[in-house]
């Protein structure tokens, strides 16, 4: 019988949960994880990682289709949907097994089952093998994540109307597709399937796609997607989905007018809800608001020794936020000195469509709404030698500074590899770097990163290459 007494138990083995457990073990805490499905959670198994494998396939396919632009001749280009999906699942499986290995390496006990709070210091676990065990803890972290939101009348059925799970493992690729929602998940799938040849329509209830991004980025993305052949409908709602034998007819209302479109498949990407059910929160001091557990700056729920991190604890719903949050909470529990609360404004966000989108901090509109005087710099990809050499000259980098202090308030990018570039601004914001320090930084040539430097220079009228 495995030991049932622990210094820390983490409920959920996703990015936040498994990282929290590893950090706890490093700090000498006797640690356990309870996971009901696959180690690595949604991110490694059904989210971040397998979708990037799919998007890499579409990126390569897109390059091959334009091989002539690079002086290459490629004939009879085709693809095998089964092999594409198999590769994605293999990547996910490799990383999930890697997390299992990390648990063993760090001597973390893993319970395969579903846990709920069962009184002070007690956790009841219904094991997947149908047995039951009660665990004792000094501290517990709830890291149960979230799932796709289901809207009435638009619920996924696993066949004709897909959530992200079905969209990742299609038995065959649809020839036409309606994507409901234009956040990161919706746009990534829209980008993937459009590049692979599907006729794609994106329907967004708000006035613009990628609504959390800077307005200029949203506008540029819309133009780029439409150039690729996507149909983008904003300020539009889907009011009805009528299922056929192998198709769906959607009623879409926009500007007071309704139209019907028939597609092979629909992807519903309208947000997430926290996995707060059956955690035993009833009768505790923990509060749930809008399906998410309320926490303070240290992840504390209000119930003694009970903490929450990641998607179940609210936005931003990002794996890297959950990881950092897990480390922060564990170090606070362990009494590590110098632990600082997380600043959400220093968390970058990335969307891996084509072109890629990345951002951090305040948009120009939000900065001005806060009453800040700002200096804004922009630099286009067409002014960068590496971008032209890559055949990727479309996009721009935008930086926003406090005009009084020189503080970097935000950075917003669209174009090739910006999901890799954004980390430079993440470091700058974390270090509270000013415009003077960024302008004095030497960037290597020829690189895409030079545009980051030029954007800063542009904010102060000093740009060199445009």
CA distances from 460 to 368, 369, 398, 463 (A): 18, 21, 13, 8
Quote the tokens at residue 366.
């939000």
Contact 337, 27 (CB under 8 A): no
Candidates 412, 445, 453, 465; catalytic one: 445
Surface-to-core class of residue 284, CB atoms within 10 Å of its CB (0-12 exposed, 13-18 middle, 19+ buried): middle
Determine the Cα–Cα distance for residues 85 and 80; give it in Å rounded to an integer.
9
Give the 3-state secondary structure of residue 307: strand
Contact 136, 32 (CB under 8 A): no
Determine the Cα–Cα distance for residues 249 and 252; give it in Å rounded to an integer.
10
CA distances from 95 to 13, 48, 52, 70 (A): 13, 11, 13, 34
Question: b/e for 295-310, b at 16 or more Cβ within 10 A?
Answer: beeebbbebeebbbbb
324 is catalytic: no
Please state the separation of Cα 360 from the chain's center in Å.
13
CA atoms within 13 A on the CB side of 67: 10
Please state the separation of Cα 15 from the chain's center in Å.
12
335's CB contacts (< 8 A; 6+ apart) are: none
Contact 267, 167 (CB under 8 A): yes
Please state the separation of Cα 422 from the chain's center in Å.
14
Instruction: Provide the annotated active-site residues.
Output: 445
């Amino acid at each position: 019988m495995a030991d049932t007494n622990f210094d820390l138990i983490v409920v959920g083995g996703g990015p936040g949960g498994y990282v929290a457990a590893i950090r706890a073990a490093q700090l000498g805490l006797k640690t356990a994880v309870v996971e009901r499905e696959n180690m690595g959670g949604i991110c490694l198994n059904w989210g971040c990682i397998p979708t990037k494998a799919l998007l890499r396939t579409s990126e390569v396919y897109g390059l091959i289709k334009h091989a002539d632009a690079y002086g290459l001749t490629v004939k009879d280009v085709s693809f095998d949907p089964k092999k594409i999906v198999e590769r994605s699942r293999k990547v996910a499986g490799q990383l999930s097994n890697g997390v299992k290995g990390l648990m063993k390496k760090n001597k973390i006990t893993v319970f395969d089952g579903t846990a709920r709070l069962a009184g002070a210091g007690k956790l009841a676990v219904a094991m997947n093998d149908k047995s039951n065990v009660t665990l004792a803890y000094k501290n517990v972290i709830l890291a149960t994540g979230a799932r796709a939101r289901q809207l009435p009348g638009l619920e996924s059925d696993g066949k004709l109307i897909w959530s992200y799970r079905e969209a990742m493992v299609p038995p065959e690729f649809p020839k036409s597709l309606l994507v409901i929602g234009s956040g990161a998940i919706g746009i990534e799938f829209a980008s993937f399937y459009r590049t692979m040849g599907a006729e794609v329509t994106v329907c967004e209830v708000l006035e613009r796609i990628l609504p959390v991004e800077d307005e200029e980025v949203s506008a540029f993305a819309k133009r780029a997607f439409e150039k690729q052949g996507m149909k983008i409908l904003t300020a539009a709602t889907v009011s009805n989905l009528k299922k056929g034998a192998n198709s769906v007819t959607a009623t879409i209302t926009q500007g007071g007018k309704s139209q019907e479109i028939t597609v092979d498949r629909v992807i519903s990407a309208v947000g997430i809800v926290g996995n707060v059910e059956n955690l035993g929160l009833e009768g505790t001091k923990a509060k749930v608001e809008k399906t998410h557990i309320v926490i303070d700056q240290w992840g504390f729920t209000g119930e003694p020794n009970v903490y929450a991190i990641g998607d179940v604890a609210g936005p931003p719903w990002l794996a890297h936020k959950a990881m950092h949050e897990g480390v922060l909470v564990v170090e606070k529990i362990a009494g590590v000195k110098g632990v600082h609360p997380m600043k959400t404004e220093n968390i970058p966000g990335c969307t891996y469509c084509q072109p890629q989108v990345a951002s951090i901090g305040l948009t120009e509109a939000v900065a001005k709404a806060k009453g800040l005087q700002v200096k804004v710099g922009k630099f286009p990809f067409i002014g960068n030698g590496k971008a032209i050499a890559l055949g990727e000259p479309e996009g721009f980098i935008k930086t926003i500074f406090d005009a009084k202090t020189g503080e970097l308030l935000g950075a917003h990018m669209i174009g090739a590899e910006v999901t890799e570039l954004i980390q430079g601004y993440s470091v700058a914001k974390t270090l509270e770097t000013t415009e003077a320090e960024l302008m004095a930084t030497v960037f290597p040539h020829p690189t895409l990163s030079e545009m980051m430097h030029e954007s800063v220079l542009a904010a102060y009228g000093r740009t060199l290459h445009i």
